[in-house]
């Protein structure tokens, strides 16, 4: 078996050194009732060729985003990742290394995490960022928990423009922690509606920009209103490329910024693994969940990096930890950092500009389709349209013609009363012939 180096001779010799007659002697503590006389009921081992064939068949049953015109967004975005990124993350020393608990032999990991934290803080306009969370949705939930701890209050207000999966995830955790969640109704341009819901019991308001429907919002007024009442403003960003064009949440007054970093460095991967970004104001650093990498010196005075402020974490605080989190999203954070390093500010700004321009092209051409109404006024690379039919059925029909036309809102919000609303997204990977194909298909559909 290609992954098992021991030979039968090795095994005999080793049993001899141990002083056991057979391997079963080493399993002597297993209760008789649980001992098995035969292997479990699953197929036996296969060579690489067979495994490749089996998995290729499964892969072949999926329509890929690259196979035809593609307009899906809603929290996961198709961008072009330079070949260098995937090549570097597969280096042995990155792929097969562990959490950097022995910093002397993990400076590779620790240094890129420090660079990652700096990039995330810069992008979000905040003081400090952690070394990544599982994804944007769990980062949002953890931010709500943190706000409750910091303010010692028990209510969270979630805007109607927050991604429904993120809202549900936050609700699950909030319910556990005894934090009352008020979810406002979904509406295209709804972030400011949170202003009316803030009171003296509010721990935080959570707004998303660009929101689910693509609307970009200046949250400065929301920040001021929240802070006037002693509440924290949490800003959620699901399309991190937008930060290359738009004012940062930190600049607009956010207390905590959480984001999904998948757009940079990471493929769509059918929903995971992704990488959550978490950034906050300096004064809240000891209440932050997740790993933190910090700068220090070694015994010879050379600069180095270590995991720090570990007393917040589960392995030390145990039942008093700020979170139960153990893992970060290591390799995905590395991919983010490499891609962001290749882009630089210059490249990111251009990438964002191209995305926005493509979306404007898409909007302009969709406006020529009779029956289609553009719902979102100010958007980055994604916006909502109303179609004169059930959006989910329409998407299914167009998929049959080889076009992945976007995400129907009803997929995320089945009872939201928006069965005729479709979210469409364009990125730098969208071509004018893609857009032309979509327009033609829609014209033919109704």
Partner 1 sequence: MLFTKDHEWIKVDGEVATVGITAYAAEQLGDVVFVEVPDLGKVLAVGDSLAVVESVKAASDVYAPVSGEVVEANGDLAAAPETVNADPESAGWFAKVKIADPSQLEGLMDRAAYDAFLASL
Partner 2 sequence: MSMNSVGRPTQPAPVATLPGAIPATLGGGRGLLQDEGLIFERDGWDSSGVDLPEPSHDASDLGDLVRTAPIGLPGLSEPEAMRHYVRLSQRNHAIDLALYPLGSCTMKHNPRLNEKMARLPGFADVHPLQPQSTVQGALELMDQLAHWLMTLTGMSAVAMSPKAGAHGELCGLLAIRAAHEARGDARKRVLVPTSAHGTNPATAAFVGYAVEEIAQTADGRVDIADLAAKLGPDVAAIMVTNPNTCGLFERDVIQIAELVHAAGAYFYCDGANFNAIVGRVRPGDLGVDAMHINLHKTFSTPHGGGGPGSGPVVLSAALAPFAPTPFVVKRGEAYELVEYREGEAAKAFGRLCAFHGQMGMYVRALSYMLSHGADGLKQVAEDAVLNANYIKARLSGVMSAAFEGPCMHEALFDDHWLEGTGITTLDFAKAMIDEGFHPMTMYFPLVVHGAMLIEPTETESKAELDRFCDVLLLLADAAKAGDVERFKGAPFHAPLRRLDETLAARKPRLRWRPELSTNVAAE
Q: Which is nearer to partner 2, 229 or 401 (CB)?
A: 401
CB of 313 to partner 1, least distance (A): 10
**Which residues, 296 to 315, sit near partner 1 by CB under 8 A?**
310-311
User: Per-residue x/- marks for partner 2, 269-298, CB under 8 A?
Assistant: xxxxx-x---------x-----xxxxxxxx
Q: Among partner 1, partner 2, none, what does residue 34 contact (CB within 5–8 Å per kind)?
A: partner 2
237 three-class SS: strand
For residue 37, state whether it binds partner 2 (rule: CB under 8 A).
no
CB of 254 to partner 2, least distance (A): 14
CB atoms under 10 Å from CB of 284, counted, come to 18
CA 75 to CA 117: how far, in whole Å?
22
How close are the terminal C-alpha atoms of the chain, in Å? 58
For residue 361, state whether it binds partner 2 (rule: CB under 8 A).
yes
CB of 316 to partner 1, least distance (A): 6
CA 190 to CA 192: how far, in whole Å?
6
Among 11, 91, 283, 317, binds partner 1 (CB under 8 A): 317
Query: 304: closest CA among 86, 107, 84?
Result: 107
For residue 211, state whether it binds partner 2 (rule: CB under 8 A).
no
User: Is 117 within 8 Å of 109 (Cβ atoms)?
Assistant: no
**Which residues, 266 to 295, sit near partner 1 by CB under 8 A?**
286
Query: 273: closest CA among 428, 76, 90, 100?
Result: 76
For 135, residues 6+ apart whose C-beta sits below 8 A from its C-beta are 260, 262, 272, 273, 274, 275, 276, 329
CA 304 to CA 270: how far, in whole Å?
37
Among 23, 59, 316, 436, binds partner 1 (CB under 8 A): 316
User: Is 158 within 8 Å of 173 (Cβ atoms)?
Assistant: no
CB of 194 to partner 2, least distance (A): 18
Q: Which is nearer to partner 2, 160 or 276 (CB)?
A: 276
User: Per-residue x/- marks for partner 1, 215-244, CB under 8 A?
Assistant: ------------------------------
Could you list the residues that contact partner 1 (CB under 8 A)? 286, 310-311, 316-317, 320
């Amino acid at each position: 078996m290609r992954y098992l180096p021991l030979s039968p001779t090795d095994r005999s010799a080793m049993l001899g050194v141990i002083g056991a007659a057979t391997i079963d002697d080493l399993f002597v503590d297993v209760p008789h009732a649980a001992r098995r006389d035969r292997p479990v009921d699953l197929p036996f081992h296969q060579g690489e060729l067979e495994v490749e064939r089996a998995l290729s068949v499964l892969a072949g049953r999926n329509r890929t985003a690259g196979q035809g015109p593609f307009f899906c967004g809603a929290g996961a975005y198709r961008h072009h990742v330079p070949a260098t990124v995937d090549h570097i993350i597969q280096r042995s020393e990155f792929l097969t290394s562990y959490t950097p608990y022995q910093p002397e032999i993990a400076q590779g990991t620790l240094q890129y995490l420090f660079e990652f934290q700096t990039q995330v803080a810069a992008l979000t306009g905040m003081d400090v960022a952690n070394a990544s969370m599982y994804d944007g949705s769990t980062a949002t939930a953890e931010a709500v928990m943190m706000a409750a701890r910091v303010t010692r209050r028990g209510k969270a207000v979630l805007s109607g423009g927050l991604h429904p999966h993120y809202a549900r995830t936050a609700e699950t955790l909030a319910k556990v922690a005894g934090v009352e969640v008020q979810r406002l109704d979904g509406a295209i341009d709804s972030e400011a509606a949170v202003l009316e819901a803030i009171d003296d019991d509010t721990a935080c308001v959570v707004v998303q920009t660009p929101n689910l429907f693509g609307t970009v919002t200046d949250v400065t007024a929301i920040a001021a209103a929240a802070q006037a009442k002693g509440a924290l403003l949490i800003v959620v960003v699901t399309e991190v490329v937008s930060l290359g064009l738009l004012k940062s949440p930190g600049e607009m007054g956010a207390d905590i910024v959480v984001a999904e970093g998948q757009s940079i460095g990471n493929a769509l991967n059918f929903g995971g693994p992704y990488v959550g970004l978490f950034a906050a104001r300096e004064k809240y650093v000891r209440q932050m969940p997740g790993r933190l990498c910090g700068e220090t010196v070694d015994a010879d005075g050379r600069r180095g990096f270590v995991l720090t402020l570990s007393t917040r974490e589960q392995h030390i605080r145990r039942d008093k930890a700020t979170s139960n989190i153990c893992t970060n999203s290591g390799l995905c954070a590395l991919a983010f950092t490499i891609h962001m390093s290749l882009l630089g500010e210059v490249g990111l700004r251009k990438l964002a500009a191209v995305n926005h321009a493509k979306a404007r092209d898409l909007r302009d051409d969709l406006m020529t389709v009779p029956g289609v109404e553009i719902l979102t006024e100010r958007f980055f690379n994604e916006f909502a349209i109303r179609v004169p039919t059930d959006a989910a059925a329409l998407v299914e029909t167009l998929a049959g013609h080889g076009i992945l036309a976007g995400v129907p809102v009803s997929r995320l919000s089945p009872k939201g009363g928006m069965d005729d609303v479709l979210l469409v997204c364009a990125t730098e990977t969208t071509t004018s012939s893609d857009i032309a194909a979509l327009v033609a298909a829609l014209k033919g559909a109704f």
